[in-house]
Structure 1
Amino acid sequence: MSEDISEQLVSLLPRLRRFATGLTGNLSEADDLVQLSCEKALRKQHQWQAGTRLDSWMYRIIQTTWIDLKRRQRSDTVSLEAEAVPEAPDRRSEHAAENHNMLDRVSQVLDLLPEDQRVVMLMIAVEGRSYQEVSDMLEVPKGTVMSRLYRARSRIQAELGSSDGIEQDGEKTQ
């Protein structure tokens, strides 16, 4: 692997770990998933085309590796543990307990989403990707991404019992 690609891969590790944590719901499993995916990328580096986005290629490897692992384990559910979500300093300490409670509730609802909707939600809401970027990464039409995101947001709103807590038109345009 060339030095440039190695450096890029190392710089992507925090983002890859965050994405893997969203998929697995567990920091330990996320670390294992990132490690497996990086090993796979190193073995198949000849398939990566210079000039294309390494992050998109790695997200795809992580997603397919996760699907392969799930198939092997025949596990139907994934639990997003509260400890899996990194604690951020709360600038509004008077609302810290409410914010933590809401984070726990949203994490539980994310666990209920189908895999395809959870992946899109994580890539757009957590990673800050545009619809087109997610479409390219997942190799599905942009309309499919929009539909999955709409269904995920609707499900989250319904489960939380609130229609004003989730932004419906938050697409980033690029």
Structure 2
Amino acid sequence: MSARPQPRHHDAASLFRAHASFVASFLHRLGALPAEVDDLVQEVFLVAHRRGGFIDDGRARPTTWLAEIAIRVASVSRRSKRRSREQPDHAAINDARSHTVDPGTAVETEEALDRVQTALDTLDPERRAIFILFELEGEPCSAIAESFEIPIGTVYSRLHKARKQFKEAHARLLARERPAARPSVHEPPATVMP
């Protein structure tokens, strides 16, 4: 019988150094406005500090544990103030994509990312969090279940529903953006019957 590895303790400072960018990205994907992400990240790590850090006993990952905290922090933030829609931070988007030389490609990329974010925004918070953790961050369902303290079957169910809802929302957005079919230059104009 092999001995179970000793649990490792990660304090809030080491968690911040290792996972602050993950938490910021996760909060943004949850729908946090660019202007509030830094404050929310700080709040997530304050909560992590108050909880005494993360004990890694092999059942959950630090990222899923932090994601669970981030969901609660974002939820409290939304409840405490009425959200006003803000234009996307185009300067930050352009800075992140400065490696893109072709302006046409940059515009297409920005539109695609906006579509994905809008489709993510249609998901309820529980499904969105599981979808993001599994599909975008590569977290295993077992770690998500452990961190959120829900049965693994619930994770699978929410993930299935989130995938379906996301695909439908994304397809609707694509359909809206496609230009309406225009008659061919060679087609005669439609005649109006008297």
The answer as to whether partners of 1:20 and 1:30 remain within 8 angstroms in 2 is yes
The answer as to whether partners of 2:64 and 2:147 remain within 8 angstroms in 1 is yes
Name the TM-score, length of structure 1 as normaliser. Answer: 0.70
2:67 maps to 1:59: yes
Structure-2 separation of matches of 1:80 and 1:151:
24
SS in 2 for 1:49: strand
The answer as to whether partners of 1:78 and 1:111 remain within 8 angstroms in 2 is no
For residue 38 of structure 2, what is the aligned residue in structure 1? 31
Deviation sequence 1:88-129 (CA, Å, 0-9, x none): 333776533322232233333333333334333332343233
Structure-1 separation of matches of 2:18 and 2:69:
17
Q: Kindly name which structure, 1 or 2, has the bigger radius of gyration based on alpha carbons.
A: 2
The answer as to whether partners of 1:20 and 1:31 remain within 8 angstroms in 2 is no
Deviation (angstroms), 1:29: 1.0
Structure 1 letter corresponding to 2:173: E
For residue 99 of structure 1, what is the aligned residue in structure 2? 109
Gap regions ≥5 residues in structure 2:
1-7, 177-194
How many residues in Structure 1 have an aligned counterpart in Structure 2?
A: 159
RMSD: 3.2
The answer as to whether partners of 2:64 and 2:133 remain within 8 angstroms in 1 is no
For residue 172 of structure 1, what is the aligned residue in structure 2? none
For residue 124 of structure 2, what is the aligned residue in structure 1? 114
Gap regions ≥5 residues in structure 1:
163-174
SS in 2 for 1:81: coil
SS in 2 for 1:45: coil
Structure-1 separation of matches of 2:15 and 2:46:
15
For residue 186 of structure 2, what is the aligned residue in structure 1? none
Deviation sequence 1:32-61 (CA, Å, 0-9, x none): 111011011101116x43424222211111
For residue 182 of structure 2, what is the aligned residue in structure 1? none
2:130 maps to 1:87: no
Deviation (angstroms), 1:157: 1.7
Q: Point out the structure with the larger helix share.
A: 1
Structure 1 residues 92 and 131: CA distance shift in structure 2, 3 A = farther
Structure 1 residues 158 and 18: CA distance shift in structure 2, 3 A = same
The answer as to whether partners of 1:25 and 1:79 remain within 8 angstroms in 2 is no
